[in-house]
Amino acid sequence: MGNRIALTGNEAVALGMKQIAPDVVAAYPITPQTEVVQIFSQYVADGDVDTEFVTVESEHSAMSAALGASAAGARAMTATSSNGLELMFEVVNITASLRLPIVMPIVNRAITGPINIHCDHSDVMTIRDSSWILLFGENAQEAYDNLLMANRIAEHSDILLPVAVNMDGFIISHAVENIEIVEDEVVKEFVGDYYPEKYLLDAANPITMGPVDLQDYLFEHKRQQIEAIKKVSGVVRQVSQEFAELTGRHYDLFEEYRLDDAEVALIAIGSTAGTAKAAIDNLREQGIKVGLLKIRLYRPFPAKEIVEALKGVKTIGVMDRAESYSNTGGPLYADIRAAMYDVGGTAQVMNIVYGIGGRDMTVRDLENLITQLQKVTETGEIEERIIHYGVRD
């Protein structure tokens, strides 16, 4: 079903937004996200979508406008990258605490400074503990599909939390791919209309949002966020199953690639997973039993399911396109080590920090890394547990 057309990731996400037709989009440009809101603004100007398009003076204002619209009962969206996300950080946390189901594409880019406009995941990792739901895609098709599912996840009555749809800057956002587009009418039926149970403009049932919340109630309200987070994985799987029945494209919390009999496994987020698959295919032909676990849902972190998927793996290489500056590895590595701790397994877990500021990670690079991991499997010896791969001396 649908049509296959050539689009960049930004074009695909903007088209998905048009098909969803949110009530309000608040917009401020920042490279490499700018095209998302620019293209969507053209849809609005041409009358293709009946959305209130609000141009604002900063990213902080963009999230504030989306917050106000969502609190008033509207389906609201915005988009950003890098330091734009940092500028809206205050409101990002407030949005989650108010349980407002805003959807925001994030085109991942290194945080300045020094000034860099290329891909790594340092921007989104700063909100990983905000109770935003974080989805990642390997390519433009997955970015588009994740966007179509995001409102269903965010607006579910058991969840009511905002969702960020992540795609790698330039690598996905500006590269042209053939992707399959779902028909407009089908998208509208799948996403459905948004009918909030409680909202500020419901004069017959007045509510308060954002009051002073001191030691008497704040803990309980945060616990409500935790209870919602516990239900996210189930809702993501439910929505993904319905999407699979609609399109034939099936998504889960993560993807297992050639992992069934793997002795060595890479764990990756985003576009690098595609490169890793090519390297894995090459090394499989040489008899190396290697596989990949590609993270789709990063927050909340599906720890139990990931541990189950990695049973039998002897050496794990965790790919982090961000540093935590903790001297204990990157953020994904910390999550994997924590998840593996309780099972008491014997797998060796190593961290590969790579691609900072957009530095390339090629098929040959990944083949080299997998070969190093295979040596660890054979010898049991690790020279360095945390590798900053590709850094010049």
Task: Tell me the CATH number at 377.
Answer: 3.40.50.920
| DSSP codes, 321-384 | SS--SSSS--HHHHHHHHHHHTTT---EEEEEE--GGG----HHHHHHHHHHHHHHHHH---S-
Residue 125 lies in a domain: yes
| DSSP codes, 259-318 | -TT-SEEEEEETTHHHHHHHHHHHHHTTT--EEEEEESEEES--HHHHHHHTTT-SEEEE
Read off the pLDDT of residues 235-288 as tens digits, 9 standing for 90 and up.
999 999 999 999 999 999 999 999 999 999 999 999 999 999 999 999 999 999
pTM score over 0.95: yes
Task: Please tell me whether residues 323 and 210 are part of one structural domain.
Answer: no
What total number of domains does the chain contain? 2
Task: Please tell me whether residues 233 and 340 are part of one structural domain.
Answer: no
Q: Both tokens of residue 326?
A: 């903790």
CA distance 202 to 196: 10
What is residue 1's predicted lDDT score, i.e. its pLDDT? 56
What secondary structure letter does DSSP report for 253? S
Task: Please tell me whether residues 283 and 226 are part of one structural domain.
Answer: no
Task: Please tell me whether residues 221 and 298 are part of one structural domain.
Answer: no
Of 177, 212, 247, the domain-final residue: 247
Question: Of 28, 104, 82, 36, which is closest to residue 358 (Cα–Cα)?
Answer: 82
Q: Both tokens of residue 75?
A: 């389906």
Assess whether the previous peptide bond of 211 is cis (omega < 30° from 0): no
Residue 393 lies in a domain: no
CA distance 369 to 46: 49
Look at residue 97 and give its three-state secondary structure.
Answer: helix
CA distance 135 to 94: 20
Residues 6+ away with beta carbon under 8 Å from 318: 267, 329, 330, 332, 333, 336, 349, 350, 351, 352
Q: Both tokens of residue 18?
A: 């048009």
Read off the pLDDT of residues 115-124 as tens digits, 9 standing for 90 and up.
999 999 999 9
Question: Of 288, 223, 302, which is closest to residue 255 (Cα–Cα)?
Answer: 302
Residue 335 lies in a domain: yes
Task: Please tell me whether residues 234 and 277 are part of one structural domain.
Answer: no
Task: Please tell me whether residues 262 and 115 are part of one structural domain.
Answer: no
CA distance 296 to 53: 30
- Phi, psi (5° rounding) for residue 30? -160, 135
Cα–Cα distance list, 84 to 95, 167, 347 (Å): 16, 15, 39
Task: Please tell me whether residues 305 and 212 are part of one structural domain.
Answer: no
Range of the domain at 63: 3-247
Residue 177 lies in a domain: yes
Of 247, 273, 297, the domain-final residue: 247
Residue 292 lies in a domain: yes
- Note every long-range contact of 58-62, with CB atoms under 8 Å and residues 24 or more positions apart, other chains counting: 58/28, 58/87, 59/28, 59/30, 59/84, 59/85, 59/87, 59/88, 60/87, 60/88, 60/90, 60/91, 61/26, 61/28, 62/26, 62/27, 62/28, 62/88
CA distance 267 to 298: 12
Report CA dihedral (208, 210, 214, 215) to the nearest 10 degrees: 80
Give me the residues of the chain with pLDDT under 70, please. 1, 344-345
What is residue 346's predicted lDDT score, i.e. its pLDDT? 79
What is residue 385's predicted lDDT score, i.e. its pLDDT? 96
Task: Please tell me whether residues 131 and 186 are part of one structural domain.
Answer: yes
Task: Please tell me whether residues 209 and 296 are part of one structural domain.
Answer: no
Of 201, 223, 247, the domain-final residue: 247
Task: Please tell me whether residues 127 and 240 are part of one structural domain.
Answer: yes
CA distance 143 to 10: 9
Burial of residue 177 (CB within 10 Å: 0-12, 13-18, 19+) is: middle
Residue 356 lies in a domain: yes
What is residue 2's predicted lDDT score, i.e. its pLDDT? 72
Residue 62 lies in a domain: yes
Residue 15 lies in a domain: yes
Any idea what the CATH number is for the domain that residue 160 is in?
3.40.50.970
Task: Please tell me whether residues 159 and 199 are part of one structural domain.
Answer: yes
Task: Please tell me whether residues 220 and 369 are part of one structural domain.
Answer: no
